[in-house]
Structure 1
Amino acid sequence: MAGTIEERIEEILRALKGRHPGQEEFMQAVEEVLVSLKPLFENQGEEDYLGAFSVIAEPERVIKFRVQYPTFGPEGAELHTTTGYRVQFNSALGPYKGGLRFHPSVSESIIKFLGFEQIFKNALTNLPIGGGKGGCVFDPKGKSDSEVRMLCEHFMKGLYRHIGPNLDVPAGDIGVGGREIGYMYGEYVRLKGQPDMGVLTGKSTDFGGSKLRPEATGYGLVYITLEALKKYNHYRYLPEERRAGVAENCFKGLKVLISGSGNVAQFAAQKVMELGGQVCSFSDSTGTITSTEGFSEDQLKELFHLKNVKRGRVSEMSTAEGLEYHAGKSVWELGLNCDIALPSATQNEITLEGAKNLAAGGCWCVAEGANMPTTNEAVDYLKTKVDIYIPAKAANAGGVATSALEMAQNSARLFWSSEEVDEKLNGIMTNIFATAYKTAQEFDRPWDLQFGANAAGFLKVYKAYKAMGYLKF
């Protein structure tokens, strides 16, 4: 392929769009990585990184299957049909690894974008796992346990032939938690006729799950943000009157906006508050609830109960103690002041307008807890306005890292304590930051963690593919 770097990048994007027409989310994810890696391509020397990118950006396998499930209403049972997906994107570094998403927005494009992101995220953990993702269109909200169980069982009937501890190990994602993983594992055992705990992660600790798996993505998000605060000397961002008593390794005195109210948001908030920060928001698909002075421990416990036991909405939170509910509004529409933003809801939640609101509100650090929560144009804007931007591939890798630790425990028939898992998780997130930072430094881009994370993840997969002969005629 001849031409300038820019022309080759455009040709790769055109070719991918032609093979994957109408898949906007997938192409957005590809373009974000491809364009950000331009400094690497300009310094590729004898290597053909651009040619390798074309190979890596094409999924190894896309599996689609029919899923049928019933729902029960006042007028009786109704049978529904939907499509199940599993994109086994890249196995250069190990078995395909990535979650299953049950949500009304699921499409082949969204599953491909998630699988593509997972390649580089998993590479950054330095653990032997490849990239994959799956799911189907289904809304668990308002469904009974029986309805959810039957959906999970039918989904597993289409999936079980394609997964295994050394082939593909799914986990949870939006709409898929411990309950759903349990139902799917139970069906897998029935279909295979024998237990095989290593086939799914995110299981209950009663049968092979790992301690801290629900907490892992949120905790990991905070751990990597701490590393960035220390490396980039966050004291200098604080007004003089707010610097007193701020320890090097804590969030004391910092205002933090969090979107979402699922596992990532809940446990990121728990860790931020444990370290002295003020969590000022949560949200879900119905709206946002805010607190100017930060949520109290009792209010956080109420949110945990509301979301994990009652499966309710943030609008049901008590507003008696300084809380305000904003119906139909996202966190990023409200123009709130903050030091740190942790978007932890879903893809493309921060638009360019939301990014401008963050900058106007004094935000100087954004770390992504959700997958691709920021549009590409909003990322470009934020990188000119905030001092620290940590992309999701690095910032939300704690969940899959702990899933890989669960795989290791299952393989060795071991069970580690919460303290052991937490120590390993912290070490992995610290190393991810160090890897992204070091790679950015090597290319004289010390503030560009987006480039550092993308380049480090890409190079690891590239070297594996090259060693296996995948990039030769």
Structure 2
Amino acid sequence: MTTAVKSPSKAKEYIDSVYHQLQDKYGYQPEFLQAVKEVFSTLVPVFEQHPEYIEHNILSRIVEPDRIITFRVTWQDDQNRVHVNRGYRVQFNNVVGPYKGGLRFHPTVNESIMKFLAFEQIFKNALTGLPIGGAKGGSDFDPKGKSDAEIMRFCQAFMTELYRHIGPDVDVPAGDIGVGAREIGYLWGQYKRIKAMHEAGILTGKQPGYGGSLVRKEATGYGLIYFVEEMLRDVNDSLEGKTVVVSGSGNVAIYAMEKAQQLGAKVVACSDSNGYVYDPDGIDLNAIKEIKEVKGERMNNYVKYRPKATYTEGCKGIWTIPCDIALPCATQNEIDGESARILIANGVKVVAEGANMPSTPEAIDEYLSNGVLFGPAKAANAGGVATSALEMAQNSSRIYWSFNEVDEKLRDIMKHIYQTSKECAEKYGSPGNLMVGANIAGFIKVANGMIAEGV
């Protein structure tokens, strides 16, 4: 007796077909294909219930950016030597609202990374419930080791090319890796010189008092912890007494550590691109802020403040430290399957992503198959862009909200994202799988908008 093999549904055939076409076209863009595959893998039940998405060929349309702008950035260093970098802006989808997404200045920046980040941004921004579309941009310029004057000249050259393509109701960039309030200030200053207009809403992440919003610096890290708080509350638990490991030491990591400590957790490790520190007595956040925010030094200096702490070269080993909660806040694909298995063997209960796509597909499979609560990036780290949208609202209204007002709005947005993701996962047959829920919730909102607008 032979067992009949179930043939794939029309929905799965359609999704696979679009992905294979994309793979043939962009096989040289691994990060972009990884991001697309992760979203596509969750959409079969959606297309089975909504055949109109196939009829309108939504997938083929949604994976192609509206436009990719690339440009040369020429600037001079302090010795008057001329340098050339490549600039990007990927305006992916503006169905929900103006393009919105950060600028990244880092030597690894290329078109694949820009497209993956912009693609993720579409659904992340839709999840916030705020009227913002998805975009991303940046350059392979490396701010490390550059003087303030060199960074200023680069930013001015970058904006001299970018200004043609952005506007408060068109595309509103923000910061990302390598782009903080200093860089945003230089970019905004150049925009005003060129346009002779004080359009405060053209960029977000500005300094408070100069058009910026309070809580923006803290927002991604705080929002990450608010999301974790909701995950734990649903299983009658809390952050109180939990041991936490955080990768990274930028704004996301620092303020995730700050909020986790405020809510009673013990953070024992964090890292930078050179290595990580382990402090069994709990990370001294004031020392981290002085090292990274004030002095701009490397993490190995932490042991000068805390002699009982240890510093280890290399970053991967941070995931061998036993913890209840792991928060990858550094970069894409930093937790692979091997690291995930070590975390699980050491008793991790929650993994929530502060960086964009920091877990490989194999790592995610390990979390889900072993009952680890998993907060995917597009939901868990959406607090930064949500607060950027709140900055846009303040700029448009010519008003200024207090720290507590913005923080409360941020907390409500993260609760909304969690509940929306949870409910969508249940509705489409994957209860408890927040990755499925977040992907579907964001996708449906954008897909319905695309159908409403026509081809």
| TM-score bracket for the superposition, by shorter chain length | over 0.9
Alignment of 1:24-39 (within 5 A): 24-39=30-45
How far residue 7 of structure 1 moved from its aligned partner, in angstroms, is: 3.2
Does 1:451 pair with 2:398? no
Q: Does 1:342 align with 2:327?
A: yes
Written as runs of structure 1 = structure 2, the 5 A alignment for 1:237-386 is: 250-295=238-283, 299-319=284-304, 320-333=306-319, 335-386=320-371
Which of 231, 235, 247 is the equivalent residue of 2:234? 231
SS in 1 for 2:80: strand
Q: CA deviation at 1:232?
A: 2.4
The one-letter code sitting in structure 1 at the alignment partner of 2:236 is N
User: Does the 8 Å CA contact 2:70/2:87 hold for their aligned counterparts?
Assistant: yes
- Please show how residues 30-429 of structure 1 align to structure 2 within 5 Å: 30-48=36-54, 51-72=57-78, 76-234=79-237, 250-295=238-283, 299-319=284-304, 320-333=306-319, 335-429=320-414
Paired residues of 1:25 and 1:113 also in contact (CA < 8 A): yes
Q: 1: distance between equivalents of 2:33 and 2:345?
A: 30
1:242 corresponding residue in structure 2: none
- Which portions of structure 1, spanning 4 or more consecutive aligned residues, are displaced by more than 3 angstroms? 2-7
CA distance in 2, matches of 1:214, 1:330: 26
* Whole-Å separation in 2 of the counterparts to 1:269 and 1:379: 23
TM-score, length of structure 1 as denominator length: 0.92
Q: How far is the alpha carbon of 1:3 from its aligned partner?
A: 7.0
Q: In the TM superposition, what is the alpha-carbon distance from 1:71 to its structure 2 partner?
A: 2.5
> In structure 2, what is the Cα distance between the partners aligned to 1:357 and 1:428?
33
Shift of residue 77 of structure 1?
3.4
Structure 1 window deviating more from structure 2 (358-367 vs 168-177): it is: 358-367
1:384-423 alpha-carbon deviations (Å, 9 max, x no partner) = 1243101000000000000000000000000000010001
Q: Distance in 2 between matches of 1:49 and 1:368?
A: 34
Tell whether 2:400 aligns with 1:431. Answer: no
1:240 equivalent in structure 2: none
**Aligned partners of 2:227 and 2:415 also within 8 Å:** yes
1:246: which partner in 2? none
Which one-letter code corresponds to 1:164 in the other structure? G
- The CA deviation at 1:122 is 0.1
Query: Unaligned stretches of 5+ in structure 1?
Result: 235-249
Residues 122 and 303 of structure 1: CA distance in aligned 2, closer, same or farther (over 3 Å): same
Q: Give the alignment's TM-score, normalised by structure 2.
A: 0.95
Give the aligned residue type for 1:283: S
Partner letter of residue 444 of structure 2? L
Query: Residues of 2 paired with 1:49 and 1:336: CA distance?
Result: 49
Residues of 2 paired with 1:330 and 1:180: CA distance? 30
How far apart in 2 are the matches of 1:463 and 1:316?
Answer: 51
Cα distance in 1, alignment partners of residues 51 and 96 from structure 2 = 24
- Cα shift at 1:377: 1.7
RMSD value over aligned CA atoms?
1.5
**1:127 & 1:331 partners in 2: Cα distance?**
38
3-state SS in 2 of match to 1:366: strand
Residue ranges of structure 2 left out of the alignment (5+ in a row): 1-7
User: How many residues are paired up?
Assistant: 447
CA contact (8 A) 1:363 1:386 kept: no
Aligned with 2:427 (options 442, 463, 467): 442
Moved more, 427-436 or 43-52: 43-52
